[in-house]
Structure 1
Amino acid sequence: MSAQPVKQQQSLKPFLALWVGQVFSLLGSQLVQFALIWWLTQQTGSATVLAVASIVGLVPQVVLGPFVGPLVDRWNRKWTMILADTVVALATLVLAILFWVGQADIWHVYVILFVRALGSTFHNPAMTASTSLMVPQEHLTRVQGLNQMLNGGLNIISAPLGALLLQLLPLQGVLMIDMVTAAVAITTVLLIRVPQPRHEAGATGSAVGQYWHDLRAGFRYVLGWRGLLILMGMATLINLVLSPSTSFIPLLVTEHFQGTAWHLGAMEAALGIGVLVGGVLLGAWGGFKNRIYTSLVGLIGLGFSVLFLGLVPVSLFPLAVLAMGLMGLMSSITNGPIMAVLQAAVAPSMQGRVFTLLSSAAMAMMPLGLAVAGPLADVIGVRTWFLIGGLLTLALGIGGQFIPALVNLEKDRDDHLEREPPMAQITQMESSSQSV
């Protein structure tokens, strides 16, 4: 078979259609998240209630994520995304009705936040794993640049847009907007073809036996690949030290800069703008040929910007805003290529398991990091925690360039990638079953 048909089968158009649908879905989700958290704040004014809401949103991905991965790899990914979005939309509709009839309670919101997080636990790895079969490898980094740009843009507009909508509509009205955006996303997925990977040979017998075989295979796959294991270890360590830094920004503003809500808003806006600019830069540039080097350079820049923020004197607040913008930009440069590396290097039939394992390990560090950093920062000061986090991140970015197993991660893919049919064959096999 000639190379030309393969190129045609790998057209970006189906993926871009899928991506646009997800833009609407993510916007609706962030509006709902903002509206529900604001409602909890107004109803209770309790930090404990908000903490429980955050934990409820983390539990599915942290606890259930590793067990969801084998299902995402085994199930049809197109219908996994559709089912996840549909369940989330129906749950949101139930909550909207409860608010409409005046029967909504705090525990109802907790349940819906859990269901929404559970849907994301299935949807996100299915979407990410599908990307590598829908996008030519040379464009994976640019696609991740688009994702970073989207995240930055949503961070900038979702909160003020949510606040505006709450002024114009009752809470159930905001929830119904999410129903509309979910319908757009579901319709988009229905109208495109999402290729499936070839499944590895597995255990025979019951579905339960097959599931546990797939789960063990996922763990063996990660543990047997030193470069991948190092990458996951670095991601969890960075999340451990940097996730508390984000939570400490309000304290840095009030305690060090003696600032107000306006100062905090300026720093948060700078972070979102930085993520957006970084996504645009990554999408236009595409990064170095070895994508790991792009992420490591971004990691060095991220460590420098966190360190810079911790060193800014009280009289130079504009430099703190600049540091936050650099943090956002460098986070895009760091995170985008990492996802592209994993999409290019990890066997497509293993990507659901690998992505959920990585995500679960990294997100599990958030509450652990806060538990450690909170009391420690009370003793050594918030600024000192930024200095520690910046230095450690900087050290990981520099040291990572001297670890052959890490920098050669993509080159080593042939030792770990399962034998699979060519991309054209995958697409052709799915064309009859995936078209609608």
Structure 2
Amino acid sequence: MKIPAIPKKLVLPALKSKNYRLFFAGQGISLIGTWMTQLATIWLVYSLTNSALMLGVVGFTSQIPSFFLAPFGGVFVDRFSRYRTLIVTQILAMIQSLALAVLALTGVIQVWHIIVLSLLQGFINALDAPARQAFVPELVERREDLANAIAINSTMINGARLIGPAIGGLLIARVGVAYCFLIDGLSYIAVIAGLLAMTIKPWKTPVITGNPLQQVREGFVYAFSFPPIRAILLLSALVSLMGLQNTILVPIFAEDILKGGAETLGFLMAASGVGALSGGIYLATRQTILGIGKLIALAPAILGIGLIGFSLSRFIPLSLFTMLFVGLGTILQIASSNTFLQTIVEEDKRGRLMSLYTMSFLGMIPLGNLLGGALANHIGAANTLIIDGIACIIGSIIFCKQLPALRKMVIPIYEQKGIIKH
């Protein structure tokens, strides 16, 4: 019996490309494992130390290499094969997760082990994140499918954010954190298999003059001398610094404020994932990049309102409801900014611009984690999130005021790329 083919109209444009389908399948499986590990790590750290500050320290060490090394990662990605780079980073990430699993399974794990392995993961991410962002355009066969591919990527990440923590919370409650690390380590096999199954065009080594430091400087000048790119990088940095502190403070709410356990933590993270997934699906089904500036402007305000609501709630259903807005605001900010930057960037500077975006997004998270952990230690987790929410809303208002002027500067690029017809 022949299975009827799915009508072409129902297939999202980017998924018509074989390489992108392989990437989507492998990453989808692996990211569920990654989110399980994130949840398991913060739960384990809080169980071992009962310290908000230590949650901040671990969050800091896992992300700080992105802040310092991402610009050099971008130079590397512009010079060398993104495909080969990703294969190496995925193998290293698998080893890191399996090391965590072995330490946890044997019962010898201590906080310093988690800090060292988190730092190693940070070094891997400093190269992996810009390589992954810059590799997506190579996976789609048609240039016009790129925005759709980026939006699907965000949906995939947040689908994993929904499923991973929910499974992780249940696993932690039933069998312990070690099995979360083990499943994450094994999930990398799917990504590596997907990458090896791809048919990739031979990498043409670009002719690049100047040493790496000059190239880093060139990337900074390119990004920060154009106000629309500069404004988006600065807004992303603010959202990452203040708006994402909730990811390390959620265990305190789950256990101390809402009087729950690992399952409560899993459901709170999953609720954030539902909001994020909704935002990702909306972006994946948008037909055009036009109007994306309004989304970028609105997103931090949605996140800020969600954070303030969550910080004030002492009732689990209300906390879950507010986490929907936290997830929605976060994904609209991250994915819309990414889509815009990938659309307007000059090809020879793609790796460097995406590394600066990684720096503004992932690179600021460790500073936010450290700040959030320290603040929560002194004024409490709830008051910390109120301050974070207010900061996000102020950022949204400032960007809104700049939007008309920024739009005028972007129109010539849209015309040049055929997005707007003369």
Taking structure 1 as the reference length, the TM-score comes to 0.75
What residue number does 1:277 align with?
278
1:143 aligned residue (146, 149, 165):
149
- The amino acid across from 2:112 in the alignment is W
- 1:121 equivalent in alignment to 2:133: no
CA distance in 1, matches of 2:249, 2:47: 23
2:158 to 138, 152, 155: 152
Q: Which of the numbers 35, 41, 48 marks the counterpart of 2:40? A: 35
Equivalent position of 2:340 in the other structure: 341
CA distance in 2, matches of 1:386, 1:403: 27
**Kindly, what percent of the aligned residue pairs are identical?**
22
* From 390, 393, 401, the counterpart of 1:399: 401
How many equivalent residue pairs? 399
Over 3 Å counting, the alpha-carbon distance change for 1:105 and 1:352 in structure 2 is same
Instruction: Indicate the SS of the match to 1:193.
Output: coil
- Could you say which residue in structure 2 is the equivalent of 1:182? 188
Structure 2 counterparts to residues 281-360 of structure 1, below 5 A: 281-286=282-287, 289-299=290-300, 301-302=302-303, 321-360=320-359
Residue 74, structure 1, aligned to residue 75, structure 2: no
The answer to whether the 8 Å contact 2:280/2:332 transfers is yes
8 Å contact from structure 2 (residues 58, 115) kept in 1:
yes
Q: Check the 8 A contact 1:125/1:355 in 2, yes or no.
A: yes
What CA distance in whole angstroms lies between the structure 1 residues aligned with 2:297 and 2:214? 35
Q: How many angstroms does 1:67 deviate by?
A: 1.9
Give the conservation status (yes or no) of the 8 Å contact 1:15–1:134.
yes
User: Could you tell me how far apart the structure 1 residues matched to 2:80 and 2:237 are?
Assistant: 28
- Tell me the equivalent position of 1:430: none
Deviates more, 1:110-119 or 1:337-346: 110-119
Which whole-Å CA distance do the structure 2 matches of 1:172 and 1:244 have between them?
25
Letter paired with 1:398: C
Asked if structure 2 preserves the Cα contact closer than 8 Å seen for 1:305 and 1:323, the reply is: yes
In structure 2, the CA distance between the partners of 1:392 and 1:309, relative to structure 1 (3 Å rule), is farther
Change (3 A) 1:90 1:325: closer
Question: Is contact 1:141-1:282 (8 Å) kept?
Answer: no
Q: Is the 8 A contact 2:309 2:322 kept in 1?
A: yes
Counterpart CA distance in 2 for 1:331 and 1:59 is: 20
Indicate if the aligned counterparts of 2:154 and 2:335 stay in contact, CA closer than 8 A.
yes
Q: Which residue of 2 aligns with 1:219?
A: 220
AA at the equivalent of 1:236: A
CA contact (8 A) 1:267 1:324 kept: yes
Give the Å deviation of 1:76: 0.8
What secondary structure does 2:290 align onto?
A: coil
Task: Report the AA paired with residue 29 of structure 1.
Answer: T
- How far is the alpha carbon of 1:124 from its aligned partner? 1.9
- Counterparts of 1:100 and 1:408, CA distance in 2: 56
Q: For the Cα contact (< 8 Å) 1:29–1:178, is it kept in 2?
A: yes
Q: Quickly say closer, same or farther: Cα 1:182–1:309, change in 2 above 3 A.
A: closer
**Letter aligned with residue 35 of structure 2:** Q
Q: How does 1:359-378 map to 2 (within 5 A)?
A: 359-366=358-365, 368-369=367-368, 371=371, 374=375, 378=379
Cα distance between partner residues in 2 of 1:289 and 1:191: 35
Which deviates more, 67-76 or 27-36? 27-36
- In structure 2, what is the equivalent of residue 385 of structure 1? 387
Relative distance call for 1:414 and 1:127 in structure 2 (3 A) is: farther
Q: Deviations over 1:32-70 (max 9, x none)?
A: 333344334434444444333212101211122122211
Q: Which has the larger radius of gyration?
A: 1
Of stretches 121-130 and 317-326 in structure 1, the one that deviates more from structure 2 is 317-326
Name the amino acid aligned to 1:161: I
Residues 272/224 of structure 1: CA separation in 2 closer, same or farther (3 Å cut): same
Match for residue 134 of structure 1?
139
2: CA distance, partners of 1:10 / 1:161: 27
Gaps of 5+ in 1: 1-7, 204-208, 418-436
Gap change, CA 1:269 and 1:84, over 3 Å in 2:
closer
Match of 1:57 in 2: 62
Q: What is the alpha-carbon distance in structure 1 between the residues aligned to residue 198 and residue 93 of structure 2?
A: 21
1:192 to 2:198 alignment: yes
Question: Is the alpha carbon distance of 1:115 and 1:286 closer, same or farther for their aligned partners in structure 2, counting shifts above 3 Å?
Answer: farther
- Quick one: which amino acid aligns to residue 238 of structure 2? L
> Which position in structure 1 is the counterpart of 2:231?
230
For the structure 1 residues 232 and 402, does the alpha-carbon distance in structure 2 shift closer, same or farther, using more than 3 Å as the test?
Answer: same
- Where does structure 2 lack aligned partners over 5 or more consecutive residues? 1-12, 418-422
Distance in 1 of aligned mates of 2:377 and 2:116:
33
Q: Secondary structure at the match of 2:162?
A: helix
Secondary structure of 1:202's match?
Answer: coil
Q: Is the 8 A contact 2:78 2:351 kept in 1?
A: yes
Structure 1 residues 118 and 396, CA, compared in 2 at 3 Å: closer, same or farther?
A: same
Q: How does 1:93-112 map to 2 (within 5 A)?
A: 93-99=98-104, 104-112=109-117
Question: What is aligned with 2:207?
Answer: 201
TM normalised by structure 2 equals: 0.77
